[in-house]
Structure 1
Amino acid sequence: MSVVENAVPARGAPCWMHLMVSDLRRAEAFYASVLGWEFGGSSLGEDDSTAFVDGRPVAGIGVRPPGWDPATVWTPYFAVEDADLTAARVRERGATVAVGPLRKGRGRAALAADRDGAVFGFWEGPTPAWAVEGSAPPRLELRTRDVFEAAIFYGEVFSWSGAAGGIEVVYEGERVVVRVSGRPVALLHGGAVETDPDPRVRPRWVVHFDVEDTGRAAEAAAAAGGAAYPAAPGPGVQGPAYVVRDPEGGLFTVSPRAGR
């Protein structure tokens, strides 16, 4: 197990992925079986674990604090310089700050939902040395009602147009690509339906975890108390993909690693 090295992420960029659950040990066993993760300690305390792949920190899983009642949702966190200012920006634009900002370990965190209900977080402070593309397996994709409206919302909240770190937003046909120093870190797609009874169709941040064998991961998910459904692979990805639901209802997608 590698030691987690902290870094100050590029302001406005995705900086971490986190899941809140009621049973941490059960969640660890599920994700170890499905994704091959190993787990170690976290700077956020005893009730939080850091997941590793090949010695690199990938994501965090923590116990839902008493009194919290959010759904079990994989949540991307975006790096900010001032969590209070970001919370004010979120509220000014008609969205919701559900929790925080609260002191967590060496930083401050808040949990929010955009105007269409997609859940996201923001973090002030150092994070594990991590990136959505390149050094860690996750990829991020926002499926939303109106992609251009969403791009404006997140751009204003996180100052994408003028943030340090070389963030740029590019419109490519029916999607929006967010890049840091030329590297894609998030895709925004339209077409989600706010009122659809299927949570896979409603607006949400989709987390793609790349694996060697998506079929094996889908079978492992079913065997470990979850479920898996065939899904369209992300842009530029070849091979079968699956939407996976963990035992507490958390959704994520498994996609083939590049080159498979």
Structure 2
Amino acid sequence: MLGESAVGAPCWVSLTVPDLAAAQRFYGAVMDWEFRPARLGEQFSVAMAHGDPVAGLGAVSSSLQVAVAWTPYFAVLDADETVSRVRERGGTVAVGPIPFPNGRAALSADRNGAGFGIWEGEILTSWRSDLHTAPASVRLHTVDAFDAAIFYGEVLDWACGRPECCEVEYQQEEVVLLRAGRPAARLGSGAVEADPDPAVRPHWQVHFAVRDVEASVRAARDHGGRVIEEHLDARPAWATLRDPDGGHFRVVAREQGR
């Protein structure tokens, strides 16, 4: 069930890894997460923060050579219609829509190659847009933010004029997606489509709110990760990290009182 202003908004994030137990140890230390089994089987788990579901982690055999990357999912009303829009506008659909116990999902990529998911179904309380409690936000690093905004706007019904849809604003050369009046996603230009570095190619980056960015940075280093960039004196403080398998993500200091 979609909450207020939820259509087209991020509603979940997931990570595919070669070793689920190792990923749990790393993210448990860096993010202070706990994990519970998922309904999909023993190779999947749900990351929990203070009792709330935050993200999904799933193991895939390393022989399949699946890139380790955080993937955001966006809420839609009709998964079949949405994947048709993806294809019509030059994107690709890798998987789905496939059924799950509480909805349907598909994995896609936009026309510049950035991967994302769509979700039709129940949204967990921790991700409901009307409560301002989403545990993560997302930012697209892409070749041309304005062109990408047209693609995602048409695919995900951004700025469609209906009360349940998200709004879009242009701020300081970025496209900002708003849900219930708060930023839920940002789109920025500057990625290089053919660059060998996955951090430079078009991709969605997931930003997690944490209480202590410095502690997360220290834990990442101690557990085999890398610090790509850190700004501990910024307000809010933030750092971009890489897990031992190559997955990029960002930690940002949580606002006081949240």
Q: TM-score normalized by structure 1?
A: 0.88
- Note the 1:85-124 alignment, pairs <5 A: 85-124=81-120
User: Paired residue for 2:175?
Assistant: 176
Contact 1:57 1:128 in 2 (8 A): yes
User: Paired residue for 1:218?
Assistant: 217
> Percent identity among equivalent residues?
49
Contact 2:79 2:118 in 1 (8 A): yes
User: Paired residue for 1:207?
Assistant: 206
Taking a change above 3 Å as real, the CA distance of residues 68 and 90 of structure 1, as seen in their structure-2 partners, is farther
CA distance in 1, matches of 2:189, 2:99: 34
Taking a change above 3 Å as real, the CA distance of residues 230 and 173 of structure 1, as seen in their structure-2 partners, is closer
CA distance in 2, matches of 1:70, 1:46: 19
SS in 2 for 1:46: strand
Taking a change above 3 Å as real, the CA distance of residues 177 and 239 of structure 1, as seen in their structure-2 partners, is closer
User: Paired residue for 1:3?
Assistant: none
Contact 2:142 2:201 in 1 (8 A): yes
SS in 2 for 1:127: coil
CA displacement at 1:153 relative to structure 2: 0.3
User: Paired residue for 1:8?
Assistant: 2
The answer to whether the aligner puts 1:151 opposite 2:149 as a matched pair is yes
CA displacement at 1:31 relative to structure 2: 0.5
CA distance in 1, matches of 2:92, 2:165: 28
SS in 1 for 2:191: coil
Post-superposition CA distance 1:129-154 (Å, at most 9, x none): 23387313312111111011000000
- Note the 1:1-260 alignment, pairs <5 A: 7-9=1-3, 10-64=6-60, 69-131=65-127, 134-162=132-160, 163-231=162-230, 238-259=235-256
CA distance in 2, matches of 1:88, 1:147: 22
CA distance in 2, matches of 1:132, 1:35: 21
- CA RMSD for the aligned pairs? 2.3
CA displacement at 1:56 relative to structure 2: 1.6
Contact 1:19 1:62 in 2 (8 A): yes
Residue type matched to 2:47 in 1?
A: A
Q: TM-score normalized by structure 2?
A: 0.88
CA distance in 2, matches of 1:125, 1:183: 22
Taking a change above 3 Å as real, the CA distance of residues 71 and 211 of structure 1, as seen in their structure-2 partners, is same
Residue type matched to 2:245 in 1?
A: E
Give the paired residue count. 251
Taking a change above 3 Å as real, the CA distance of residues 67 and 132 of structure 1, as seen in their structure-2 partners, is farther
CA displacement at 1:101 relative to structure 2: 1.4
CA displacement at 1:97 relative to structure 2: 0.8
CA distance in 2, matches of 1:41, 1:71: 23
Taking a change above 3 Å as real, the CA distance of residues 65 and 97 of structure 1, as seen in their structure-2 partners, is farther
Q: Which runs of 5+ in 2 are unaligned?
A: none
Taking a change above 3 Å as real, the CA distance of residues 246 and 36 of structure 1, as seen in their structure-2 partners, is same
CA distance in 2, matches of 1:52, 1:61: 11
Post-superposition CA distance 1:160-198 (Å, at most 9, x none): 122552411112230111112212211111111112232
CA distance in 2, matches of 1:148, 1:225: 37
CA distance in 2, matches of 1:79, 1:54: 24
Higher mean Cα deviation, 105-114 or 41-50?
Answer: 41-50
SS in 2 for 1:94: coil
SS in 2 for 1:155: helix
